[in-house]
Amino acid sequence: MGKLALAAKITHVPSMYLSELPGRHQGCRDAAIAGHREIGRRCRELGVDTIVVFDVHWLVNAGYHINCYERFRGVYTSNELPHFIKDMPYEYPGNPALGRLIAEHANAAGVHTRAHEVASLDLEYGTLVPMRYMNADQHFKVVSVAAWCAWHALEDSRRFGAAVVEAIEHSDCTVAIFASGSLSHRFNDNGSPEEAIFRISDPYFEQVDQRVVELWRRGDFETFCAMLPTYAVSCHGEGGMHDTAMLLGALGWDRYRGRVEVITDYFPSSGTGQINAIFPLPQR
């Protein structure tokens, strides 16, 4: 019988890759990179063999989709920010069996889902950036889930997340799940100065983000889940915050009472609000 061993909300800002490179911004995201490495270390301590990433950089227009090819490899350049991520090589093992099982359980729950094993279906950087720092040695198998759900209801993503846990428990895997996406996600306007990479786009967004983090630390998910639909709209939640709905669906939604542990403190990035945070697992 499989088990869910760790759950987290994580950043994937492309300036993390930029932070590695010689130049003006070298080292600028060391704290976020260290947070990824710490989460990866904890996954290893817990015996995790597979990481499932809810990736808000994979856009889909209909249905729910899982990328579970047997091995992912390639060289990635971001079409969104090619001056941040360019020619980044990657290679990770996949977990087709778990991907198919997630689709089976989601479909049984009435959430139409397809699992894809297609060599030409590339990973997006919401998966690739965290795997670079957590999984450079290919220790973990990877399954990527589309979480930029353009025309979907958050309720369906909640149900999808619940189906993910059911599938994990019917597998032979020890799994970590990551909601890979920001908090507020309103970018700075085009033409902003280069130093705006370290600024929030509007103080309102940061104030709401900080309130959200406070609710998470207190374990007040009854309040957070009630405000999530409005928060996702008013603060331009990345991918509609379907990654977060999937994560909380897996943890129990508004019945979840975990007190979140912040691994990397909240920080602004190019206008958006970012964090690395572990969500303690509920007793099942």
Q: Is residue 167 part of a domain?
A: yes
What pLDDT does 284 receive?
Answer: 60
Q: Domain residues for 228?
A: 3-278
Let me know if residue 75 belongs to a domain: yes
Least Cα distance to 144 among 199, 181, 172 occurs for 181
pTM value is 0.97
In this structure, what CATH number is given to the domain that contains residue 209? 3.40.830.10
Query: 179 in a domain, yes or no?
Result: yes
283 found inside a domain: no
Three-state DSSP class for 63?
A: coil
**What total number of domains does the chain contain?**
1
The pLDDT tens digits of the residues spanning 175-214 come to 999 999 999 999 999 988 888 888 999 999 999 999 999 9
The pLDDT value given to residue 273? 97
Q: 211 in a domain, yes or no?
A: yes
Q: Residue 50: inside a domain, yes or no? A: yes
Alpha-helix residue ranges (DSSP H) falling in the chain: 15-20, 30-45, 96-108, 125-134, 154-169, 203-218, 221-234, 242-251
Asked if the structure places residue 284 within a domain, the reply is no
Which amino acid type is present at position 283?
Q
Q: Convert the pLDDT of each residue in 227-242 to its tens digit.
A: 999 999 999 999 999 9
Taking the C-alpha atoms of residue 29 and residue 132, their distance in angstroms, rounded to an integer, is 14
